[in-house]
Structure formats: C-alpha cells, structure tokens
Chain A
C-alpha cells in the first residue's frame, strides 16, 4: 500500500514537471531615459572614493545596445502561498566598493538573504519595508565582517535596503510569495523555470519605468512560453 502511494506521488510530481515549461522573454525599453547622475558624495568620501577610478554614476536604467532593460522583475501574478523560500538557496547581496551588488534582487518569502560586507569599511544594513509584517532591521556590519542573514515573510515590491553610514548606497529587494519570478540580465533577458502549464498574468516591474508593472496574459505549455515586454519611459 505504501509503495503504491509513493509511486502515485512520484508519478504526480513527474507529470507536473513534465507539464511545466520555462517562461522566457526579453524586456525592452522604449524611449530615452534621463541621464544617470554622478554620485559625487561617493567619490568625495575619503575611503570609498578610492575604490572608484572614474566618477561613479547611478544605475537606474541599465540598457543594452539593443534596448534590453536590465533589473526588471518579471513574475506571475495572482499566485500566493506557494513559496518554497524556506528550502531555497540563500540569495547574496554584497557591499563592494561602497555600493550594493546587485542593486535589484528578488527573493521568495521566507528565503534567506545573505548580506556580505566585502569592504574594508563599516557599513550598516538598514532594511526599510513598507508592508506590515516585514520587520525593519538596522544592523551594523564591521569591515570584512560576518555575514548578516535576513528574511521577509510578506510579499513586497522593491523593499529598500540602505546604508546610513554611506547614504548613496541602496538596493531594492522584491519579495514574492511563490517561486515563479526572475530578474532580467544585462541584455534584458529572463527565464522563469518550471512554470506549471496554464494561463497566467505576467507582470514586469521596473523601479523607475514601470513601478506598478506592465502586464500581459500568457499561456504556458509543456514546451514553455515566450513573453516579451516593452517598457516605455516618457
């Protein structure tokens, strides 16, 4: 009996994987974004300025030559309570040369965020959630100090991380209540793996160009699906 049950569970899981596909696509920026700003306070800082030979600039719009827009969070909408964050591998947020790397990150609820300090200078990691249920934390992190670990229990878009010691440092963490999301790479491409077959609303969020998201309906089949987004800046 137990063997039959185990076989049934295994078969169901296999069938689910077999009927799941990857959702891929590209996010493209239409229009000309404003010019990035020089981060003068960073260059002027006695310690941090030494890490940057050239004047550092903000990176609100990272756009490839073909218009591909990086740092866009693409996720399925209308799904909740499916988080596998507790068992997922930690996501790493580093502080290098007095900037957060990467600046845009997406995690699941309950997933560990490991914050590293790779700098020979003190930072403080100040997470400032806007959603009730996510706890604000303000933790000092000594030079090359021990990693900090944080988790958030509620879904939230672009939860702010900042350093109060170096106020130009910030990162934005999107917390999702399921595993079906991705952040576009430097070419604007994304892949959301193993999406169960079905029809979904997919949204692409960019902190500046589309903070509320650009949506489209997608049907994912066993061989996957493709969804391209165009985000416009006026």
Chain B
C-alpha cells in the first residue's frame, strides 16, 4: 500500500503517510458533501416530514421500502438522504478504524457490543423508544464488525486517531439528531417545536462534521507530511492569521443564521433584493408585517412571516457584507503559496453572495437555495483549513 511508517524506536509504531488512507478520507469528504447537498434539498423542498417514521420508512425497514413509494414526491429526497447517511456512517466507521489501526479494535468491540445491548434495552422500554433502539443496535452491529474483521494495521500519526474517534461519535450523534427531528417533530418545548430545533442543530452540526473530515483529509495529505519533513516548512507568508480565524467564525455564525431562517419554514421573510420590502430599511410594524403576509402567496403553505424573521434576514445580509470584506482583507494580506487559495476563498464568497441574491430573486427555488447551502459549506471549510495552516506554519523559517 506504499505506506510510510515510523521506524524509529521513539514515537512508536505509526503510519507517517498512507496515500490510500488519504484517498479514503477524500472519498468520505465527498460523500459527506453530497449528503449535505441532499439534506439541504430536503429542507429547501420542505419535505423533511415526508417519511413520518424513523428508522423505519412507512413501516418498512429502510432498506426494504418499495421502489414505487421511494419515488413518490418528497419521499425520494428524504429516503435517499437516509440511505446516503447510512453509507456515510459506514465510511466514517471504516475511516476511524483505519486511522486508529489495531489499537482501536478492542474499543470498537466493546462499544459495538454495548450499543447493541443498549439498543435492545431501548426497544424493551416501549414504542416511543423503538426508533432510537433500532438505530443504536444497527450502528452497534457495524461498529462490532469493524472491530472484528479489519486488518492488523498500524495507527496513523497523532492526532489523527483522536480525530477519527471524534468523527466516529459525531456521525452517530448526527444520525440520531436526524431521526429525532422526525420522531419528535410535533413536540413543543419552551414554545419551540422540537422538529425545528433538532433540524437546525442537525444542519449546523452536519457542516461542522464535514469540516472535521476535511481536517482529517488535510492531515493525511502528502503536502502536510512534507511540511513536517526534514526538508523544511513552507512559510505561508501571511500576517493575517487572526483575520482568517475571525472570518471563519463569522462564516459559521452566518451558517447558524441561515439555518435558523430555513428551519422556521416561513419562506422568504424579505422577497426582494437588494431592497427589503421596497425600502432600504423595511417597516416592521405589526400593520406592515400583516400587509406583507396578505400579499404573500406561499407555494408550500409556509408559516406567516414575523418581524423577527425580517430582522434575521437583515442580519444575514449585513453579515454577508462583513464576511466579504474580511475575506478580501485575508486575500490582500497573504503572499506566497497561500495567496491562490485565499483568492479562491474570495471567489467562493462572491459566488455565495450571488447565490444568496439569486435565492431571493428565484423565490427560494429549491436547487438555488441548496447550492447556497453547499457553497456556504465549502466557504466554511476553506476558511477553517486556511486558518489551521496559517496558525500552524506562520513564522516558520526556511532551512
């Protein structure tokens, strides 16, 4: 497999670089990006509840849903999202096992067994716990299998095994959140529907999870390994590390704002751009909001808009300007090998701004809104990776 291993006594037995491990990490990243895309489409098309049960689908085991039912309306998107999520889950367990090597086997056997037993215990609690019970015992089976049948390999260099464990737990939490979003949709806590709350967390955590996988892909890359080799470190020649960090945090905040808007299922709180209800600063008095709702023809029976939602959209627009400016500063203050990636990042943000405007002009067309979600994810990931690189290698001298 052309793996480079550490052969010195110091540091122990670990893989310095494995091209196939890196490729597998990239495959998992690509699969997760696709999963975010199909998940985004589910929300954009307002079909998140088109399969009202979980983990079964209309009473069928999720792998046995009749094709005719699968191909009906929104069921196609939601059920495909669930199947795709299962594939990503298996890829992540395999990735984690690869990163952890033989040292992870015992833990996987214990965790897999415990999850199976916990799943059966939940099933015994009653019908309300059936979904979580099936989910847990199913994933436990996959985990147990990874512990039993995998090759006797060396672990990857630190901190990759730890990151693998983070991904392992996070993908399971994500799966459970997605299921609870459906099962507890109608439950209300503190005035908020749990379907909305879980959907929002599920959407944001999905992008954080993608980021984690991208970091794993970066750390398993040949480039990263060379940066740590005796031949010397490339200096990013960037005096804006804190700007990169600030901008990436702003992008994540923007993601939360956008997810909050989407998961309130109220459609477009402001139907025009760059104006807002025909003005630079819209009237958000109760009478004005009532008039907006009166002329608003919701194609999917969306909830009436509120003044708070209008303010949320205005904040989203304002933050977009901040982010665009900050990314421009990052690109301007970066030289050397990071200049091109920083300019690509700027290009991504410009595309994202265009998609945001187009989302409004197209009356929130599902494909456009979903593209906006995906480019947002790419913007977040790009910013985070650039931040890691600038902090890790800034100030390093060439040998």
Which 8 A/B pairs are nearest by Cβ-Cβ distance? A170-B301, A136-B186, A165-B73, A164-B49, A167-B300, A167-B46, A164-B50, A138-B52
Chain B interface residue count, CB cutoff 8 Å, equals 26
Distance in angstroms from A223 CB to nearest chain B CB is 37
> Do the beta carbons of B297 and A167 come within 8 Å of each other?
no
Interface presence of B22 (CB below 8 A): no
Chain B residues in 8 Å Cβ range of A138? 49, 52, 185-186
- Whether A91 sits at the interface, judged by CB under 8 Å, is no
* Contact present for B74 and A167 (CB under 8 Å): yes
> With A34-B295, A47-B72, A233-B294 as given contacts, are A167 and B52 in contact (CB-CB < 8 Å)?
no
Chain B, interface SS category: loop
Interface members, chain B 17-58 (any A CB < 8 Å)? 45-50, 52, 58
- In the complex, which residues of chain B have a beta carbon less than 8 angstroms from the beta carbon of A227? none
Among listed A16-24, A36-44, A63-71, A188-196, interface-contacting one:
A36-44
Please tell me the size bucket of the interface on A: 35 or more
Closest Cβ of chain B to A233, distance in Å, is 7
A45 to B293, CA, bound (A): 27
Tell me the nearest residue of chain A to B46, going by C-beta: A167
CA distance A34 to B72 in the complex (A): 32
B299 lies within 8 A of chain A by Cβ? yes
- Which secondary structure dominates chain A's binding surface? loop
Nearest B residue (CB) for A48: B73
In the complex, what distance in Å separates the CA atom of A213 from the CA atom of B25? 59
| Central interface residue in B71, B72, B293, by most chain A CB within 10 Å | B72
**Contact indicator B73/A45 (Cβ below 8 Å):** yes
How long is the Cα–Cα vector from A230 to B137 in the complex, in angstroms?
A: 62
The distance in angstroms between the C-alpha atoms of A87 and B45, with both chains bound, is 40
Q: Which of B74, B294, B366 contacts A166 (CB 8 A)?
A: B74
Is B261 an interface position by the 8 A CB rule? Answer: no
CB distance A121 to B58 under 8 Å? no
B186 touches A41 (CB 8 A): no
| Cα-based distance from A60 to B52 in the complex (angstroms) | 28
Beta-carbon contact of A140 and B73 below 8 Å: no
Cβ distance B61 to chain A, nearest Cβ, rounded Å: 16
A-chain residues with CB within 8 Å of residue B227 when the two chains form the complex: none
Given A48-B73, A138-B186, A208-B294, A168 contacting B50 (CB threshold 8 A): no
Given A122-B75, A166-B73, is A37 in contact with B45 using a C-beta cutoff of 8 Å? no
Residues of B within 8 A of A121 (CB): 72-73
CA distance in complex: A167, B52 (Å): 14
Q: Please give me the residue from chain B that is nearest to A160 by CB atom.
A: B301
Contact A165 B74 (CB under 8 A): yes
- What's the Cα separation between A139 and B50 when bound, in Å? 10
- Alpha-carbon distance A160/B265, docked complex (angstroms): 13
- If A168-B300, A208-B295, A211-B290 are given as contacts, then 18 extra A-B residue pairs at C-beta distance below 8 Å, sorted by A number, are A37-B297, A41-B366, A45-B73, A47-B72, A121-B73, A124-B52, A138-B49, A162-B300, A162-B301, A164-B47, A165-B72, A165-B73, A166-B73, A167-B47, A168-B301, A170-B300, A170-B301, A234-B291
